[in-house]
Copies of this chain bind each other. A is one copy, B any other.
Amino acid sequence: MSLLIVGSVAYDSIKTPFGEVDRALGGSALYASMSASFYSPVNMVAVVGSDFSEKESEYLNSRNINTEGLIRKPGETFFWRGEYSFNLNEAHTLETKLNVFEDFRPKLSSKLKKSQYVFLANIDPDIQMDVLDQMVEPKFVALDSMNLWLDIKKEKVLDVISRVDALIINEEEIRQLTDEYNVLTAVKKIFQTGLKYLIIKRGEYGVLFFEKSEPHKIFSLPSYPLEVVKDPTGAGDSFAGGFMGFLAKADQVNEIQLRKAVVIGTVMASINVEDFSLNRFKAIQEEDIYKRLEDFRNILHFEEINV
């Protein structure tokens, strides 16, 4: 089914203990779209400057990513410079230039407004709300955010959360959002908003998935263990993209499909971080994904226990 992804396209300059890249393609919408495109066609909505080449658009189109909703504006594309130390769980932002992103207010075409599956990738919650207002009866909407927006627009983030189906957020952010240290207590609190599903990303420690019910259901999945993590940028977006792409393909929102989608998201994130920027997504074949999924199954497997 139709999948809409709204977020940022950026040029990133990134340094990690394992190398660096200068002005490499990135951004929440782009990572998520590339990841999702292995499962479902994507309509990507974002804004770029005149430094974004037509060739890039053509490449995305060739990968099942429709860029009709990609706005081009005079000026430069959003730019981010960041660095990671050996603790790859945490990025240190050195420079952020919003550039053309500053007054990004996407107006969706009548076709895009009817998208069934929607991922509001990490951007200003005002933009997320604006997009949400334009949607016509979507089947499933997932939302990401980040600590920056929780610092300066927490109420707005909570407003958006109350209107979506699923929130995909990291462990520190759910604590910040709820003012609760224990994650399970935080989950109870966030489910008072009307949200149905919550996914807590724990970086190299995997993911917790919660479904609102009495008591709420939990699915816990570790990450795929990797020896080489070259660049964790976009891991969360790649997770969300794989999750949404799989769900749009299955076109069924239920516990069984959602859990599978979490596994797919985890696999896609593990692939993405093996190289800088979108390099791994550009290089892999479908067989690489099957292979990783199979490996992951073996890593998680244990037999029935009779005590």
A157-182 toward B: CB 8 Å interface, digit per residue (1/0)? 00000000000000000000000011
Interface status of A59 (Cβ within 8 A of chain B)? no
Q: How many residues of A contact B (CB 8 A)?
A: 41
- Tell me the nearest residue of chain B to A249, going by C-beta: B307
Interface residues of A (CB under 8 A from B): 39, 86, 181-185, 202, 205-206, 208, 217-223, 225-227, 229, 246, 256, 259-260, 262-264, 286, 289-290, 293, 298-303, 305, 307
- In the complex, A111 Cα to B301 Cα: how many Å? 37
- In the complex, A208 Cα to B227 Cα: how many Å? 13
- A307 with B264, Cβ < 8 A, contacts A184-B227, A226-B184, A259-B302 known: yes
- Tell me the nearest residue of chain B to A87, going by C-beta: B181
List 16 extra interface pairs beyond A221-B222, A286-B307, CB under 8 A: A185-B227, A205-B205, A205-B222, A218-B225, A219-B300, A219-B301, A220-B222, A220-B299, A221-B300, A222-B222, A246-B307, A259-B303, A264-B305, A289-B307, A290-B307, A300-B300
- In the complex, A181 Cα to B301 Cα: how many Å? 26
- State whether A181 touches B227 (Cβ < 8 A): no
